[in-house]
Amino acid sequence: MARIKVEAGKPYEVIIEKGALTKAAEYIASVTTSKKVAVITDDTVDSLYGDPFVCNLASAGFETVKFTFPHGEASKNTSTFIKIIDFLAENHLTRSDTVIALGGGVVGDISGFAAATYLRGIRYIQVPTTLLSAVDSSVGGKCAVDIPMGKNLLGAFHQPSVVICDYKTLDTLPREIFLDGCGEVLKYGILYSPDLLSHLSEKGTGFDREYVIGSCVQLKADVVKRDEFDTGERAMLNLGHTVAHAIEKLSNMTISHGAAVATGCAVIARASASAGICTKDTSDKICDAVLALGHKLSCEYSAKDLCNAMLSDKKRHGNTVDLIVVEDIGRCKILPISTDDLLAFIEKGLRA
């Protein structure tokens, strides 16, 4: 078991424990005096964990109501958001009550945003059940929904009161969703931790879950402490993401986010080595970890297509694009690169 403190404006703990779901009531009672809780989840997670979770809370004396919506990113919209708000109001939740997000990043993001806005903000608790939500979205307080103009355009910063991560729930994840989360795990290793990266290369997807999730959460907590509201260093967490967004876009979203992030990291690592920003040994280590986690070093798109897609990315400032490049394992930096030089840089990254 690991307990990690996130020192945001309002500090809270992330509890990482196999079987934590069965102790959820105890952990929730330790951070709130609420009598009433609203569990928000999706249909897949509900069918796997909803009933025992609600029973656990009810038997501990919580008056528990549950709202379930269809799984998937398509539900992370304003229509589901309003349904959740209506549900909270119909069930008379007050400012002393609590919202509990049981599920992956979609459930966490939309429930967090509902909790941030209902009655101008009520308490909420994250119970992540995907690898991505365990290592990334459940920590840091960013929550949002998608609107037709783009992903995550309507949101807030609202920190949870506690995060309860039972990594046994990852046993029921379909393999591709587990692999998807590995893309973000890899990112933390490259950004901050040679030990984490070598563990991932050695163990592949059979990594030690408590060690890996604990390391990623600690690393994210450190960044959130220094830049809670994403005005500086938190941008480093976008390593591999500019290339990844281009790959996702060119594939019409058929390549998952995590797979694209892993490939994006490999492209950036090789381009960094070719440009003399890091050694070939560093880039080889990153590529080994990408392969060990079941991801690809390259994609079927040309450097030209990737660059065109990247230039419509929001990280563009006039004639430069901010890329996060690798200096060493555990040391990355932001490199503003001119749109004229981008093509040659990405071409180098696509070469084996």
Ligand X SMILES: NC(=O)c1ccc[n+]([C@@H]2O[C@H](COP(=O)([O-])OP(=O)(O)OC[C@H]3O[C@@H](n4cnc5c(N)ncnc54)[C@H](O)[C@@H]3O)[C@@H](O)[C@H]2O)c1
Give the footprint of ligand X on this chain (CB under 6 A). Answer: 42, 44-45, 48, 71-73, 76, 103-107, 109, 129-130, 132-133, 136-137, 140, 142-143, 151-152, 169, 172-173, 177, 180
User: Are the CB atoms for 314 and 334 separated by under 8 Å?
Assistant: no
d(Cα 319, Cα 133) in Å, to the nearest integer?
34
Residues 6+ apart with CB under 8 A from 6: 12, 13, 14, 139, 140, 159, 163, 221, 224, 225
d(Cα 307, Cα 231) in Å, to the nearest integer?
25
In the complex, what is the shortest distance from the CB of residue 283 to ligand X, in angstroms, rounded to a whole number? 25
Return the number of the residue (97 or 146) whose C-beta is nearest ligand X.
146
In the complex, what is the shortest distance from the CB of residue 165 to ligand X, in angstroms, rounded to a whole number? 11
Return the number of the residue (126 or 193) whose C-beta is nearest ligand X.
126
Return the number of the residue (113 or 345) whose C-beta is nearest ligand X.
113
Return the number of the residue (105 or 349) whose C-beta is nearest ligand X.
105
Q: Which amino acid is at 124?
A: Y
In the complex, what is the shortest distance from the CB of residue 164 to ligand X, in angstroms, rounded to a whole number? 13
Residues 6+ apart with CB under 8 A from 106: 42, 71, 72, 73, 75, 76
In the complex, what is the shortest distance from the CB of residue 133 to ligand X, in angstroms, rounded to a whole number? 4
Residues 6+ apart with CB under 8 A from 188: 135, 196, 215, 216, 219, 220
In the complex, what is the shortest distance from the CB of residue 128 to ligand X, in angstroms, rounded to a whole number? 7
In the complex, what is the shortest distance from the CB of residue 184 to ligand X, in angstroms, rounded to a whole number? 7
Return the number of the residue (49 or 345) whose C-beta is nearest ligand X.
49
Return the number of the residue (17 or 109) whose C-beta is nearest ligand X.
109
Q: Match 């690809």 to its residue by tokens.
A: 296
Residue 306 corresponds to which tokens in the numbers above?
A: 């990737």
Q: Which residues of 274-295 are buried (b: 16+ CB within 10 A; e: fewer)?
A: bbebbeeebbebbbbbbebbbb
